[in-house]
Amino acid sequence: MNILLPVSRGASFGLAVRLAIDTAKAHAGRIRVLSVLDAAEIRRIEAGARPGAIHLARRAADEVRERMTAEGTAAVAGAVRRCEEAGIPVQGKVVEGELERELVAAAGANDLLVSATASHFDPDLEDASGKLVLTVMREGGIPILLSGASYRPVHTVVAGCGGGPRTERAVGAMARLSLWKAAPRGILLAVDDAPEGGQERIAAPRRILADAGYAAWEEKVLPGPRAKMFLYFCDLVDADVAVLGGWGEHRWDDLLGLSVTGRLLKDGRRHLFLYM
Residue ending a domain, among 147, 174, 199, is: 147
Distances (CA, A) of 72 to 7, 55, 79, 190, 256: 8, 25, 11, 42, 28
Answer with the one of 129, 147, 165 that is the final residue of a domain.
147
Tell me the residue range of the domain where 175 lies: 156-274
Same domain, 12 and 109: yes
> Could you please report the per-residue DSSP string of the chain?
-EEEEE--BSTHHHHHHHHHHHHHHHTT-EEEEEEEEEHHHHHHHHHTPPTT-HHHHHHHHHHHHHHHHHHHHHHHHHHHHHHHHTT--EEEEEEEE-HHHHHHHHHTT-SEEEEETT-B-STTS-SPTTHHHHHHHHHH---EEEE-SS-----EEEEE---HHHHHHHHHHHHHTTTTTT-SEEEEEEE-SSHHHHHHHHHHHHHHHHHTTPPPPEEEEE-S-HHHHHHHHHHHTT-SEEEESS-S-SSGGGGGTTSHHHHHHHH-SSEEEE--
Tens of pLDDT, residue by residue, the chain (276 residues) = 999 999 988 888 999 999 999 999 999 999 999 999 877 776 666 665 555 556 666 777 788 788 889 999 999 999 999 999 999 999 999 998 888 889 889 998 999 999 988 777 776 655 655 567 667 777 778 899 999 878 889 999 999 998 888 899 999 999 999 999 999 999 999 999 999 999 999 999 999 999 999 999 999 999 999 888 999 999 999 999 999 985 444 444 555 556 787 788 778 889 999 987
One domain, residues 106 and 141: yes
Domain's final residue, options 98, 120, 147? 147
CA 221 from centroid of its chain's CA atoms:
27
Look at the chain and report how many structural domains it folds into: 2
CA 259/CA 245 separation, integer angstroms: 11
pLDDT of residue 51: 56
Phi and psi at residue 124, in whole multiples of 5°?
-100, 15
Are 128 and 199 in a shared domain?
no
pLDDT at 178: 96
216 burial (CB, 10 Å; 0-12 / 13-18 / 19+) is: exposed
CATH number of the structural domain spanning residue 43: 3.40.50.620
- Could you tell me if 85 and 61 lie in one domain? yes
Q: Are residues 125 and 41 in the same domain?
A: yes
